[in-house]
Chain A
Amino acid sequence: DVKVTQSSRYLVKRTGEKVFLECVQDMDHENMFWYRQDPGLGLRLIYFSYDVKMKEKGDIPEGYSVSREKKERFSLILESASTNQTSMYLCASSARGLDTQYFGPGTRLTVL
């Protein structure tokens, strides 16, 4: 079974803090994705990566950056957290050439 894990289930941070969200997958998947999910807005793609050290902007990259130093790990960074970044953050992965994405458990981030 595909397993995608995320570093925290719940996180509370203060405005202006730098926040790191980590995602690890154990299926040797090439593709990894970061989404945020908000009521009424659905799942929105922040960034994705097709390979180590590669990254592409999704639909809403502003205020975020990512890092992929190892194939199994994809990190989302909030350089200076703001209250409008309070959300559920979901990581997903898929194999090269395949569309099926598998999700991690999510991190509910609250920025005060």
Chain B
Amino acid sequence: QKEVEQNSGPLSVPEGAIASLNCTYSDRGSQSFFWYRQYSGKSPELIMFIYSNGDKEDGRFTAQLNKASQYVSLLIRDSQPSDSATYLCAVNQDAGNMLTFGGGTRLMVKP
């Protein structure tokens, strides 16, 4: 069973701080990694994806991938209360564009 693990949280950070969200995965063959944000009662929305080892930056968000250690992380700089949400990590499976989702980390940014 391919697994994607996340700490459920809540992760609490003060406004303006860096929030660091982590995700580990079991399938060494995974090639695509995604971060989704989900507000309470809403559906997941794509924040960013990463395919290659290293960092990928998009505005205040940075995704970091380390395939050797099988982890992917999301850094949110200058965290805002509006960033308070559950963040889902997703990893592709071998067959046909399916994704395996982690259980999500709940982030709380306090003013």
Give the interface centre of A45, A90, A100 by most chain B CB atoms within 10 Å: A100
Chain A contacts with B in 48-77, Cβ cutoff 8 A: 48, 50, 56
Q: Give the number of chain B interface residues (Cβ < 8 Å).
A: 21
Q: Across the two chains, which residue of chain A brings its CB closest to B104?
A: A42
User: Does B43 lie within 8 Å of A42, measured CB to CB?
Assistant: no
Size band of the interface chain A makes with B: 20 to 34
Q: B98 within 8 Å of A by Cβ?
A: yes
Chain A contacts with B in 71-112, Cβ cutoff 8 A: 90, 94, 96-106, 108
Query: Could you tell me the distance in whole angstroms from the C-beta of B86 to the nearest C-beta in chain A?
Result: 10
Q: B44 within 8 Å of A by Cβ?
A: yes
Chain B contacts with A in 32-58, Cβ cutoff 8 A: 32, 34, 36, 41-46, 49
